[in-house]
Amino acid sequence: MASLGSFLLLATFVVCSYSAAVSVAGARRRSRPLIESGVGAFYLTAALMTVASAVMINAFLTNDYSIKYVAHYSDSVQPLFYKITSYWGGLDGSIMFWVFLLSIFGTLAVYVNRERHRELIPYVVATIAVVQMFFLYLMVVHKNPFTTFLTTVPADGNGLNPLLQNYWMAIHPPSLYTGFVGMTIPFAFCIAALVTGHLDDSWLRAVRRWTMFAWLFLTFGLTLGMIWAYEVLGWGGYWGWDPVENAGLLPWFTATAFLHSVMVQERRSMLRVWNVILVITTFFLTIFGTFMTRSGVVQSVHAFGDDPMLARLFTIFMVAILTFSFGLVIYRLPLLKARNELDSWVSREAAFLVNNWVLLFAALFVLFGTMFPTLSEAIMGQRLTVAAPFFNKWLIPIGLILLFLTGVGPLLAWRKSTVRNLLEQFLWPGVATATTLAATTALGIPVWAPGLCFALCALVTATIVQEFLRGGNVRRRNTGTDLFTAIIGLVGRNKRRYGGYIVHLGIVLIFLGFAGSGSKKEQLFRLKLHDQATIGAFTLRNDGVKVSDDGQKQMATAYISVSQNGKPIESMYPGRSVFRKHEDEEARTDVAIRRSLAQDLYLVLAPDVDFGTQTITLQAFVNPLVDWIWLGFGVLAFGTGIALLPERAYSFALAKLPAEAATTAVVLLAGLLLSGVSLKAQQHQVDPNVAVTPSKNALEEQLRGEMGCVCGTCAHEALTKCTCGTAQQMRSQLRAQIDQGKGHDEIIQAFIGIYGGQQFLQAPIDKGFNRVAWLFPYVLGATGVFAIGFAAIKWSHHSAAAPPETSATLDDPALEERLNDELRDLD
């Protein structure tokens, strides 16, 4: 299998280079067959990478420890879910996953735009293919994930680090990669536009959705990383300005800037050079971020290991990107001239411009701070570092300026705002801001920075509400519907604008969370048995420590009863667990968090537990408003979704519908939003009281082994091991069945009756349809093979059938589609 994988990577590299070369040649010679051949080869890379991925996942599933990568990141007891996610768990695999995603996204983008932007396609293909080639080259010559052991094959793998065996951590990297990789598509279109000189705004239309999509995933990835840090690492915070975190933030700043400035170009044909530069910079920063975190250039507590070879290859690639892209920009400067000038500084485009400067400054600043140790060593010979306070000092004002612009921008008119419309627009938002500022000051919240932050949040919210109400009222008068339908219709008519406002609302919520961290409390208590301590409104009492063992790990759990303002509210169980195979490491912190919208109570059990006297040290944090950050992301995602949805989705509100139907729709939508926002993961509540009771007979023991806990968060542990409440309940159900004297199959059937499916089984019944589950990797592989065949057939068919001079002809449906598209965008 390993050699098949290596071969596939090599083959992809060859096909990629072919695709790049043929596309460029085809575009230069205006030869349709050559271009088509390049596109076909490009699709083929996606198929090949799919097969290679299937091979890799298969190696993980079948515990093929002859492959070093598998042996390093998996072991036989690892749950199925983490076996699959281990694919992108390490350096080599993550590069491969990168290429896989890029080939899929590239294929999609090329397929969707093949008619609309025909003149750009060959260069888009070539650009993406070259980027793929770089990463494939890295793998083939330096970091091949399919490398095998030359000596003895280990009997079992090392296993994924326990701290990473976390639900959030499993979905965080793919989300971040999707964001990173997605940014290559706008870059490819940008380069294609520069090379061909088709620098009207059509390339922007092709990429703005992609950018939004990539931006959404980038944001999602960053949020997931924050949630993971908050829930697992146990230091009470979520963002530490570590180089690895910063690497994800850099392209986020520039991508956000681009999403704003693109509107100025569409509306006023300004900032054309600027947009091109932003797209290039965003792409460059994704590569740079990868370089920074993988090559050991920046010293970080995240151990990435020095890899000078990787650093060299990346440096060459980055220099090439910069020289080539900016060379092209300079070459095309005459074509990129702005067609308009800034009329006034009191205009929306000016606000966008300032927003862009601030965002770019933020990116440069974070870049500077992150690279500071390296820079200072190069310049002064001393390695100096800057820490979180330095970043905070600068990014708090930057964030507040951005928030201010978010509020002010939509109130300004394009071109020039008159004093009169300024007054009209700013009256209510101004009042809201002033009132909030006064109220927060009266409550004793310091003006800098939380007070100001709250006031600006009020400003933005007031602006958005005002925009919705005004637009809605106008539309209500015009269409004669009720206000709700009118607002939905409004959103449907101008999805990007109103979707954008909802995104801004999400940002406001996130900023509320940031402002809350200003009044964070942290304290360390040494508590004897039944001692009490107070932090904020909470009183904590030590009810003792217990030790339990679930086979995979040994846990020390403290029982803390919490009362708020004198009333008992909850018991919390902060703990520490020592994992098998990781006994030499400090125990894993199991943070206990009591969430509420007002404040989180966050408890960490220190390692100095004295079991004899049941004395513990407890680190307690009160984090106000922190949950608003996660809620804010939900709103932000909803807004982006609105902006991304096709028009058809709103047709119900765009037509004049009876009011009842519209109201129902609103209720449904609101319900959907709420369910999305308030969806709380089912808690895998480890109840330390639960011990696994011994089985009554062999049948029970066997069935316990076959069944897994269905609580949904514990990686589906077997009932022989799992100690959560759900597992306990399942065990008693099983005991009841055993007591009725039922046989093995009868009991399974009874459980299927209870749970409505086989999800409680560790492995699906190996019969009929269930075999499909195990066939998955093979099916995936076969799909790839079919896709290759299909591509090959289609490709040969096209190049044989299409006469060379057809490149200029446009058949009617395609032209119509393109026209339609352009007309729609004029709205």
Partner 1 sequence: MTQRYIKIGATVLVLGLAFAGLFWSTLRDGTEYYKNLDEVMTNQSEWHGKQLQLHGYVVPESIYRSRNNSLEYRFKVQNNPARATEPGSVISVSYTGIVPDTFKGEAEVVLKGELTTEGFKVSPNGVMAKCPSKYEAAAKSGA
- Cβ neighbour number for residue 494 with a 10 Å cutoff: 15
Residue 554 in contact with partner 1, rule: CB under 8 A: no
Q: Are 601 and 591 in contact, with CB atoms under 8 Å apart?
A: no
Q: How many residues lie near partner 1 (CB under 8 A)? A: 57
Angle between helices 348-380 and 388-408 (to 10 degrees): 170
Binding residue (CB under 8 A) for partner 1 from 280, 456, 555, 587: 587
610 vs 647 by CB, closer to partner 1: 610
Binding residue (CB under 8 A) for partner 1 from 44, 96, 164, 437: 164
Q: How far apart are CA 460 and CA 635, in angstroms?
A: 15
92 vs 700 by CB, closer to partner 1: 92
- One DSSP character per residue, 554-594 reads EEEEEEEEEEETTEEEEEE--EEEEETT-TTSPPEEE-EEE
The minimum distance between CB 701 and partner 1, in angstroms, equals 34
Between CA 775 and CA 778, with CA 776 as vertex, the angle to 5 degrees is 65
Reduced to 3 states (helix: H, G, I; strand: E, B; else coil), residue 220 is helix
**Interacting span for partner 1 (CB under 8 A) from 106-114, 177-185, 381-389, 667-675:** 381-389
- Quick note: the x/- pattern for partner 1 over 75-104, rule CB under 8 A, is --------------xxx--x----------
Residue 390 in contact with partner 1, rule: CB under 8 A: yes
Between CA 631 and CA 636, with CA 633 as vertex, the angle to 5 degrees is 115
Q: How far apart are CA 463 and CA 471, in angstroms?
A: 12
Residue 606 in contact with partner 1, rule: CB under 8 A: yes
301 vs 443 by CB, closer to partner 1: 301
Binding residue (CB under 8 A) for partner 1 from 17, 269, 494, 617: 617
Residue 341 in contact with partner 1, rule: CB under 8 A: no
Residue 584 in contact with partner 1, rule: CB under 8 A: yes
Q: How far apart are CA 788 and CA 21, in angstroms?
A: 20
93 vs 251 by CB, closer to partner 1: 93
Binding residue (CB under 8 A) for partner 1 from 334, 389, 694, 803: 389
**Interacting span for partner 1 (CB under 8 A) from 19-27, 55-63, 127-135, 580-588:** 580-588
What part of residues 467-526 is at the interface with partner 1 (CB under 8 A)? 524
Burial class (CB in 10 A: 0-12, 13-18, 19+), 339: exposed
Binding residue (CB under 8 A) for partner 1 from 610, 746, 805, 816: 610
The minimum distance between CB 578 and partner 1, in angstroms, equals 10
- Cβ neighbour number for residue 327 with a 10 Å cutoff: 11
**Interacting span for partner 1 (CB under 8 A) from 341-349, 389-397, 439-447, 662-670:** 389-397
387 vs 672 by CB, closer to partner 1: 387
**Interacting span for partner 1 (CB under 8 A) from 23-31, 317-325, 385-393, 446-454:** 385-393
Residue 299 in contact with partner 1, rule: CB under 8 A: yes
**Interacting span for partner 1 (CB under 8 A) from 301-309, 458-466, 809-817, 819-827:** 301-309
Q: In this structure, what token pair is assigned to residue 286?
A: 């994704």
- One DSSP character per residue, 719-786 reads TTT--BHHHHHHHHHHHHHHHTT--HHHHHHHHHHHHTSSTTBSS--SSGGGHHHHHHHHHHHHHHHH
The minimum distance between CB 319 and partner 1, in angstroms, equals 23
Phi-psi region of 770 (alpha: psi -120 to 50; beta: other; left: phi over 0): alpha
608 vs 827 by CB, closer to partner 1: 608
Residue 66 in contact with partner 1, rule: CB under 8 A: no
The minimum distance between CB 138 and partner 1, in angstroms, equals 14
What part of residues 519-548 is at the interface with partner 1 (CB under 8 A)? 524
- Paired with 577 in beta bridges are 555, 588
Angle between helices 452-479 and 419-442 (to 10 degrees): 130
The minimum distance between CB 368 and partner 1, in angstroms, equals 9
119 vs 242 by CB, closer to partner 1: 242
Reduced to 3 states (helix: H, G, I; strand: E, B; else coil), residue 810 is coil
Binding residue (CB under 8 A) for partner 1 from 25, 61, 163, 342: 163
Distances (CA, A) of 685 to 476, 712, 718: 50, 11, 16
Binding residue (CB under 8 A) for partner 1 from 44, 53, 72, 784: 72
Distances (CA, A) of 76 to 62, 79, 549: 9, 8, 20
CB burial readout 298-317, b (16+ within 10 A) else e = bebeeebeebeebbebbeeb
The minimum distance between CB 564 and partner 1, in angstroms, equals 25
Q: Are 143 and 91 in contact, with CB atoms under 8 Å apart?
A: yes
583 vs 739 by CB, closer to partner 1: 583
Residue 301 in contact with partner 1, rule: CB under 8 A: yes
- At position 261, the amino acid (one-letter code) is S
Residue 739 in contact with partner 1, rule: CB under 8 A: no
- Quick note: the x/- pattern for partner 1 over 123-162, rule CB under 8 A, is -----------------------------------x-xxx
Residue 293 in contact with partner 1, rule: CB under 8 A: yes
Q: How far apart are CA 553 and CA 549, in angstroms?
A: 6
Residue 565 in contact with partner 1, rule: CB under 8 A: no
Nearest Cα neighbor of 177 from 86, 287, 260, 270 is 287
The pair phi, psi for residue 586, each rounded to 5°, is -60, 145
Burial class (CB in 10 A: 0-12, 13-18, 19+), 7: middle
382 vs 809 by CB, closer to partner 1: 382
- At position 297, the amino acid (one-letter code) is V
The minimum distance between CB 240 and partner 1, in angstroms, equals 10
The minimum distance between CB 303 and partner 1, in angstroms, equals 4
Residue 394 in contact with partner 1, rule: CB under 8 A: yes
Residue 609 in contact with partner 1, rule: CB under 8 A: yes
Q: Distance between alpha carbon 180 and the CA centroid of its chain, in Å?
A: 9
105 vs 314 by CB, closer to partner 1: 314
What's 524's DSSP letter?
E
Binding residue (CB under 8 A) for partner 1 from 29, 30, 337, 383: 383
Residue 344 in contact with partner 1, rule: CB under 8 A: no
Binding residue (CB under 8 A) for partner 1 from 382, 675, 678, 809: 382
Between CA 653 and CA 661, with CA 658 as vertex, the angle to 5 degrees is 65
Residue 812 in contact with partner 1, rule: CB under 8 A: no
H-helix or E-strand spanning residue 543: strand 538-549
Q: How far apart are CA 262 and CA 275, in angstroms?
A: 7
CB burial readout 249-281, b (16+ within 10 A) else e = bbbbbbbbbbbbbbbbbbebebbbbbbbbbbbb
73 vs 760 by CB, closer to partner 1: 73
Which residues 6+ apart lie within 8 Å of 450 measured at CB? Answer: 440, 515, 516, 518, 519
The minimum distance between CB 6 and partner 1, in angstroms, equals 18
Q: How far apart are CA 305 and CA 282, in angstroms?
A: 26
The minimum distance between CB 213 and partner 1, in angstroms, equals 26
**Interacting span for partner 1 (CB under 8 A) from 232-240, 466-474, 543-551, 725-733:** 232-240
Residue 234 in contact with partner 1, rule: CB under 8 A: yes
142 vs 267 by CB, closer to partner 1: 142
Nearest Cα neighbor of 296 from 283, 287, 309, 285 is 309
162 vs 781 by CB, closer to partner 1: 162
Q: Could you list the residues that contact partner 1 (CB under 8 A)? A: 68, 71-73, 89-91, 94, 158, 160-164, 233-235, 242, 244, 293-294, 299-306, 372-373, 376, 382-387, 389-390, 393-394, 524, 584-589, 604, 606-610, 617, 619
